[in-house]
Amino acid sequence: MSTTPHVEDLLRELAPQVLGVLVRRFGDFDLAEDAVQDALLAATTQWATDGLPGNPRGWLIQVAQRRMADAVRAEVARRRRETTDFVRAVPVTVSGRDDTLDMYFLCCHPDLPPAGAIALTLRAVGGLSTAEIAAAFLVPEATMAQRISRAKKRLSESARPFADGAHDSSRLGAVLQVLYVIFTEGHTSSSGAGIRRGDLAAEAIRLTRALHALLPEHLEVTGLLALMLLTDARRAARSGPHGELVPLHEQDRSRWDRAQITEGLRLLTATMPAGLTGQYQLQAAVAGLHAQAARVEDTDWARIAALYTLIERRNPNPMVTLNRAVATAMLHGPAAGLTLIDTVAEPLARSHRLAAVRGHLYEMTGDTAAAVAQYRLAAKQTASVPERDYLLLRAARLRTGPAAHVDTAQPR
């Protein structure tokens, strides 16, 4: 019997909390991760038959601990020191505190290079697949798998690497990047039949709200929350009646969540007295300009281009340059945008967004053949069904349809 959506959502919410409890107590990440997966599998079977236990979190912890104890007993010679800890009973009544945020800090371990810590956290706690993480960082899946494997191995060589660090402020930057990547994957899914994964986007916003409650004066925490809210406010307008993708320039802006936009703008405004210096603040400012444009024609492309220039200076990134190329095309024409795109063609060669934006800009120039070729290339490169269908439709209609407004490469 399959689990209900309610149970699936509950298991997704509880999994990182249970993992956090186990790794803090016992210090073995790999063993804890395997045990939690076994406990989740047991829950999907048993809860479907017997119903939810009175304390689902405590139930999962007990089952996962038993799995860990079984594994430890099979490796007594190598893990004798940990065995005594693992076989102790865990009380059924456990703290109601949400351990998920702590787990993000614990995984962003200072013994790891930032890229490894972020990748490991996204895989183990964030719920992203290796392929999704690789797509986010523009590297092959095999490369990302090796990065995660090295991070796990390095932690396994440390003495109780998860014993502390849940409140280590030096790890905050990595945690923010993890939350940003999870939200981005949730807002615009890189694969599958849906445009978005609402569970991931909602969880990223929830955790960022929790972090903001802890650090209300931190500019980048506030900026990231503002960015998420301003971007997520468009969700209702991003798909049509059959789930088809609706790009930003075609969206019905009356369907945007005005209350969420107001909250995002309020948060962004609160960061401005100190100056717009952080990358999430700056990206939120871009999202805010889109949100405040009543019509696509009202978009302040000059300010958007200037903001992307600031982001690029602070954190050089080919995807940021691609976004700046879009704004440049809207200000100075598609030829200027295409010239700028050429500067990041190599690092973005694996991303369908490069070909998609090129297709839009070639369409603006009237070069139909080049536009069709780029749309088809982008459709071939993307693993997202709605994006593939949208790109193929653009290519098919190009010869008879009117010239389109260029869309941004950022999440729609």
Ranges of each domain in the chain: 1-96, 330-412
d(C-alpha 1, C-alpha 191), whole Å = 27
pTM for this predicted structure: 0.79
**DSSP annotation of 294:** S
Q: Give me the helix-helix angle, 198-214 and 5-26, nearest 10°.
A: 50
Summarize pLDDT for 190-237 with one digit per residue, the tens.
998 899 998 899 999 999 999 999 999 999 999 999 999 999 999 999
Residue 330 CA to chain centroid, in angstroms? 28
Confidence bin at 412 (pLDDT 50/70/90) = low
**Proportion of the chain in helix, strand, coil states, percent, rounded to 5:** 70, 0, 30
d(C-alpha 117, C-alpha 108), whole Å = 5
Q: Which of 49-58, 69-78, 377-386 has the lowest average pLDDT?
A: 69-78
Residue with tokens 């650090």: 215
Q: Which of 17-26, 82-91, 198-207, 295-304 has the lowest average pLDDT?
A: 82-91
Amino acid at 360: H
More confident of the two residues 259 and 39 = 259
Summarize pLDDT for 29-40 with one digit per residue, the tens.
778 888 888 888
109 sits in which H/E element: none
The helix/strand/coil state of 62 is: helix
Phi-psi domain of 366 (left: phi exceeds 0; alpha: psi -120 through 50; beta: other): left
What is the DSSP annotation of 176-216?
HHHHHHHHHHHHS-SEESSS--HHHHHHHHHHHHHHHHH-T
d(C-alpha 193, C-alpha 243), whole Å = 9
d(C-alpha 93, C-alpha 246), whole Å = 47
Structure confidence at residue 184 (pLDDT)? 96
Structure confidence at residue 91 (pLDDT)? 36
Q: What is the per-residue burial (b if ≥16 Cβ within 10 Å, else e) of 52-82?
A: eeeebbbbbbbbbbbbbbebbeeeeeebeeb
Percentage above 70 pLDDT, the chain: 86
Neighbours of 408 (CB within 10 A): 23
d(C-alpha 334, C-alpha 357), whole Å = 10
Question: Quick check: 167 pLDDT over 80?
Answer: no
Amino acid at 237: A
What is the DSSP annotation of 73-104?
HTTHHHHHHHHHHHTSPPPSS------HHHHH
More confident of the two residues 98 and 382 = 382
Neighbours of 332 (CB within 10 A): 14
